[in-house]
Amino acid sequence: MWDGYCADPFVLRTRDGRYVMYGTTPSPLPEGRAFQVLVSDDLDHWDDVGGALVVGGDDPPGTEYWAPEVAFADDRYWMYYSSGIGDQGHRLRVATATDATGPFEDLGVVLTPDVPFAIDPSPYLDGDGSWWLFYATDLVEGDRPGTVLAVQRLSDMTRLEGEPTIILRASAEWQRYEADREMYGGVHDWHTLEGPTVMDDGAGGCLLLYSGGNWQTPGYGVAVATAPAPQGPWHEDPDRGPVVTSAGTGLIGPGHCSVLTDGDGTRHVFLHAWDPTLERRRPHRLRLHVHEGHVSVGHPDAPPEQDSTGEGNSHG
C-alpha cells in the first residue's frame, strides 16, 4: 500500500468517490502541517498530497498531534484529534476544512477541558442523526487501572454534551500495557484500551473495534465489543481475545483501526503495523466480514468464511 510512516490510519470516502487516508506522523510535515494525507481511487494505490492540519499558533514547542479522524457534516469536514507533549496532557481538539485534503484549521476549542488525558477521538453518526464521539481516557480506580474507552454525544460538531460515559475497560491479560508503570503519582499494573471505531451491526445495534495492549510490541491487537446503542451497555465475550493479532496476520503489532465501506458496499479495516525494521508504522488493509453479529477479519481477497488466521476467528 504505502511504504511511508502513517500510523493510526483513518480512511474516508468523499462525495466524489475518492478515498482519503489520514495518519499520525512522528514529526511535523513540510509547510507546518501535521497528519499525513494520502489519496486513492482504488484503495490499493495511494498518492501523497502532504499534510492536513495547520499547526503552530499557541501550541508550545514539542507539541505532538495524534490519531486524526474526520467527519463530514454541514457541508464541511471536521477533524478530531489530540494534542499534548509526549504522552502527557493530551486533550481532544477539532479543526475544519472545506476540502477533505485540507488545509484543516484548528478552531481553538478544547473538547475535553476537564479530562486529564484523552486521545483517539472517533466520531460516529447514529441512525437517528445524532453524532457521538468515542475516545480513550485514563482511569486509575479498579482492578485493572489504565486507559479505558468513553463516549459523549456531540451537541454540535464543536461541543461535547454532558459527562463522559465509560463504556469499556480492561478485562484480560492480553490488554496489559506495562507492569509497574509510574502513573498519576503511583505505580500500577497498567492496561490499555484505545483506538475505538464504531459501526452499525446491521441489526439495529453497534459494533466497536478497539486496540489493546502495548502499541510498541507484537502483542498489540484488535478486539470487538457490541451494544444496542452508542451509549451502551457495551459487552465483549470474556472467552474471546483479539480478532486481529500478529500471529494471525503476519503483521507486527497490528492495531488502531478504522472501518471503511467502499462504493460497492464492501467493508474494509485499515490499521497500522510495524515494518520489519521496527522503525515505521505503516498502513494495511484487511477485509471485514459481519454476519449475524459475528465479526471476522481477513486479507482482502480471502473468502468470507476464512479470516486471516485461516481458522474462522470471530466474535459475536
Mean pLDDT to the nearest integer, 146-161: 98
When pLDDT is cut at 50, 70 and 90, the band that residue 91 belongs to is: very high
Cell numbers found for residue 255: 492495531
Average pLDDT, the chain: 91
Res 49 pLDDT > 50:
yes
Res 305 pLDDT > 70:
no
When pLDDT is cut at 50, 70 and 90, the band that residue 309 belongs to is: very low
Cα–Cα distance, 111 to 161 (Å, whole number)? 10
Q: What is the pTM of this model?
A: 0.93
Predicted local distance difference test score (pLDDT) of residue 299? 72
Cα dist from 42 to 13, 20, 169, 181, whole Å: 11, 11, 37, 43
When pLDDT is cut at 50, 70 and 90, the band that residue 290 belongs to is: confident
Cα–Cα distance, 55 to 183 (Å, whole number)? 29
Cα–Cα distance, 225 to 243 (Å, whole number)? 11
Res 304 pLDDT > 80:
no
Predicted local distance difference test score (pLDDT) of residue 302? 47
Predicted local distance difference test score (pLDDT) of residue 311? 33
Domains and CATH numbers, the chain: 7-298 (2.115.10.20)
Q: Which residue has the higher pLDDT, 116 or 258?
A: 258
On whether the CB atoms of residues 225 and 212 are closer than 8 A, the answer is no
Res 313 pLDDT > 80:
no
Predicted local distance difference test score (pLDDT) of residue 258? 97
CA atoms within 13 A on the CB side of 130: 13
When pLDDT is cut at 50, 70 and 90, the band that residue 308 belongs to is: very low
Res 96 pLDDT > 50:
yes
Paired with 136 in beta bridges are: 119, 149
3-state secondary structure of 293: coil
Predicted local distance difference test score (pLDDT) of residue 240? 81
Predicted local distance difference test score (pLDDT) of residue 268? 95
On whether the CB atoms of residues 39 and 46 are closer than 8 A, the answer is yes
Q: Give residue 180's identity as a one-letter amino acid code.
A: D
Q: Which residues are catalytic?
A: 8, 194
Cα–Cα distance, 29 to 52 (Å, whole number)? 9
Label the pairing between strands 104-110 and 118-125.
unpaired
